Amino acid sequence: MNAEPERKFGVVVVGVGRAGSVRMRDLRDSHASSAFLNLIGFVSRRELGSINGVPQISLEDALSSEEVEVAFVCSESASHEGYIRQFLNAGKHVLVEYPMTLSREAAQGLWELAEEKGKILHEEHVELLMEEFAFLKKEVVGKDLLKGSLLFTAAPLKEEQFGFPAFSGISRLTWLVALFGELSVVSATLVERKEEQYMKMTVCLETEQKSPLTWTEEKGPGLKRNRYLSFHFKSGALENMPNVGINKNIFLKDQNIFVQKLLGQFSKKELAAEKKRILHCLGLAEEIQKLCRPNN
């Protein structure tokens, strides 16, 4: 990225929760990629007026403004698809937090719309920019997996806002696919105690080499946000994650990738591989949901 951009892309941030607030902070700081972006305003369902001098604007104004060329969609997962479609149809580039949509078919359709409009559609995956993932990738490369498991625990999430657990937890699935290649679903079960706000989803997956991987998401009051993993290889085992340092600026790293895409600095091959991985993960999540909720 050149220090002096020839032009700046006008940006609106949709949704100002945790991710949206970090995005706004990064856009206003003097980073290399932020020099290519000009934060024009934010869209929120709440009446906030302005945040740190950044004005709130209506969705209608964001869609119709010629000044706005890019939308950062940071709202709840259930609303992503609608926002992406509106902004692409209005001729804007879109960066969206994961999961892009709550179905593979919808994501495929949105990518086709982006191509038709000649716009960038970028799905954020900050979990692939974490120090832990970089450590794991280095540990796993070139090794033959015998079996593995990944358990994630956290406080409850509202399904109507964030989607079925296989979608709200898609970053864990993305880790497994990015580490071990395409996977297939062997079985999936869901235990729910709604009155206790408790759920446990257990998914048995296998690699293309038929090595078993178990992915578990457990959420309930009092459960701390934690990741437990165990990977057994022919050459030894990796049990749990060592402390590999703080994940610094992961949203900013993602913003850098997005700006590189805006500037045409990603090859078609890289873009195709990323799209294939994202669609594969969304397809797995959908299959898991159908197995856990066959009557829905």
168 is catalytic: no
Provide DSSP, the chain.
Answer: --SS-S--EEEEEE--SHHHHHHHHHHHS--TGGGGEEEEEEE-SS---EETTEEB--HHHHHH-SS--EEEE-S-HHHHHHHHHHHHHTT-EEEEPSPS-SSHHHHHHHHHHHHHHT--EEE--GGGGSHHHHHHHHHHTT--EEEEEEEEEES---HHHH-SHHHHTHHHHHHHHHHH--EEEEEEEEEEEGGGTEEEEEEEEEETT--EEEEEEEE-TT---EEEEEEEETTEEEES--------SHHHHHHHHHHHHHTT-S-HHHHHHHHHHHHHHHHHHHHHHHHH-TT-
Residue 6, C-beta contacts closer than 8 angstroms, at least 6 positions apart: none
Task: List the catalytic residue out of 44, 75, 103, 172.
Answer: 172
Task: List the catalytic residue out of 44, 98, 103, 211.
Answer: 98
Alpha carbon distance 115, 287 (integer Å): 26
Task: List the catalytic residue out of 127, 217, 218, 286.
Answer: 127
124 is catalytic: yes
Is 246 buried (19+), middle (13-18) or exposed (0-12) by CB count in 10 A? exposed
Task: List the catalytic residue out of 44, 171, 217, 286.
Answer: 171
Alpha carbon distance 111, 121 (integer Å): 7
Task: List the catalytic residue out of 69, 97, 218, 286.
Answer: 97
> In 3D, which of 271, 256, 1 has the Cα closest to residue 126?
256
172 is catalytic: yes
98 is catalytic: yes
Catalytic residue list: 97-98, 124, 127, 171-172
